[in-house]
Amino acid sequence: MNSSSSANDFEATAAPTAPYGQTFDCQPSLTDRQVADFCREGYLILPSVVPDDINQMVVDYLDSVDDPVRQGTEPTPIMKQPWFVEGVLKNPQAVGAVRSLLGRNITLPVIISNHRGSLPNHSSGGWHRDGGTIYTHRLDYLQVFYYPEQCTPEMGPTEVLPGSHFLRAKANMMAHYGKIDRTVSTAAPAGSIFLTVYGIWHRRTRATVGPTGRSKFRNLLKYNYWRTTEPTRDWIIDPQFDFNSFHFITSTGVYFEQFQNAFDAAHLFCWLCGIGDQFQRLGGQCWPITSTVRDGTNQMGIPPALRTGSTED
Amino acid sequence: MATLHHQINDCIEKLKSGQLVEDDLRALLTSVDQRHRRKQSLLYIQTSSTRPEGEVVGMSIFEDGKDPDGIDTDGNFLYQTLEQAMDDGWRIIKFPEMVLAMDEQHNYGLGYEFILER
């Protein structure tokens, strides 16, 4: 395939049916610390995990099916392409992270969206959380994004506000927000995938360059994976990891009542471990805010399964 | 403001010298009308606390010719503090919504938001 490929070219390589919503399993790839980091920040960027040949086929596919005038198309039938399912949706590094967070037998997406941004675009998208967001200490699905081409800072990459998956707001009441301090750009090389908690605050930044790259657009695919099993701590366990000294407070903690986001992140982590019922918010200097405890001391209120010296899984 | 001030001073001087005419006063009236018709501008500043000197964490501005993100050409906030904005002629018209801070368990919106106009 090449940049002049047509939709008919891809029909020839399409499978009879797409694996929409099918379950699959793989090995987890995240450690205790990485899972805790995700609970705290609400996102994880995996740079350059998809091979270049797959990236190029994806771009060609998107160019062949997208009306360049329309934005925000849904090229979901790309899931009929086996190379896309294996190379992107089941990309070992990406689904290893997804598997760590959503447990065994996760589902493949049922919808693929493409945020196909024109270049240049002198206005940024407004800050928002995606429709359907609920605030919860459960993690039953992940919102995943994929750049099939390099997205430089000048091409209008999405930016996210770390920790904002616990910052409550209605999307329509966020529309007047402008620059926010301590945001993180997802500008990344081709083949990068980033995972987010569904309700994280994000926006497209302005694109200051003209048509560039293979596609001449900024393509950003978005899709969801869903959990099918009860949560349990079955990712890569690090016996040396100390839950007492881990810093659950995010870099944007200043936006919250002091320590508030640490409680939320720790609660989510406990739920993922399958010990959500052990989480306590005692108030005062309780777990997880007293992370400067010394000499293997357990913080007050730390769940039994996470205590130093615990033999529980 | 400087132009209007200058016009009034001119009129006073002309009055003293006996040179003030109707056209001078009509021109002054036009300037006053134009000033009153100027579109209201809005500035939103989010800070880390209700203290006006608090750290600015977010900003947006709705004024002709200004970047709505509230940033200068280097990408920095136009004002580092609320006080700097007030020194530049902005007046606070709404203080942070305290009812949103009363919920012990949850946080709402971005920091503490001041709304200013000029």
Look at A254 and B58 and tell me if their CB atoms are within 8 Å.
Answer: no
In tens, the pLDDT along B51-84 reads: 888 889 999 999 988 999 999 999 999 999 999 9
| Residue from A181, A201, A263, A267 to probe the interface with B (highest B Cβ count within 10 Å) | A181
ipTM of the complex: 0.89
Report the predicted TM-score, pTM, of the whole model to 2 decimal places.
0.90
For strands A179-180 and B56-62, give the pairing.
Answer: antiparallel
Q: Give the C-alpha separation, A65 to A5, whole Å.
A: 10
Side-chain half-sphere of A110: how many Cα atoms within 13 Å?
7
Cβ–Cβ < 8 Å for A29, A149: no
Which burial class, exposed, middle or buried, applies to A282 when counting CB atoms under 10 A from its CB (0-12, 13-18, 19+)? Answer: exposed
Per-residue pLDDT of chain A (313 residues; tens, 9 = 90+): 655 677 778 988 999 999 999 999 999 999 999 999 999 999 999 999 999 999 999 999 999 987 655 544 899 999 999 999 999 999 999 999 999 999 999 999 999 999 999 999 999 999 999 999 999 999 999 999 999 999 999 999 999 999 999 999 999 999 999 999 999 999 999 999 999 999 999 999 999 999 999 899 999 999 999 999 999 999 999 999 999 999 999 888 888 888 999 999 999 999 999 999 999 999 999 999 999 999 889 999 999 999 987 655 4
Q: Is the dihedral of CA A11, A17, A20, A23 positive or negative?
A: negative
Residue A264: how many other CB atoms lie within 10 Å: 25
Residue A49: how many other CB atoms lie within 10 Å: 19
Supply A139's token pair.
């993690």
Cβ–Cβ < 8 Å for A33, A238: yes
Given this model, what pLDDT does residue A71 score? Answer: 45
Of A176, A178, A255, the CB nearest to B111: A255
- Tell me which chain B residues have a C-beta less than 8 angstroms from the C-beta of A169: 108-110
Given this model, what pLDDT does residue B117 score? Answer: 97
Given this model, what pLDDT does residue A248 score? Answer: 95
Comparing A16 with B101, the larger pLDDT belongs to A16
Alpha-carbon gap: A74 to the closest alpha carbon of chain B (Å): 30
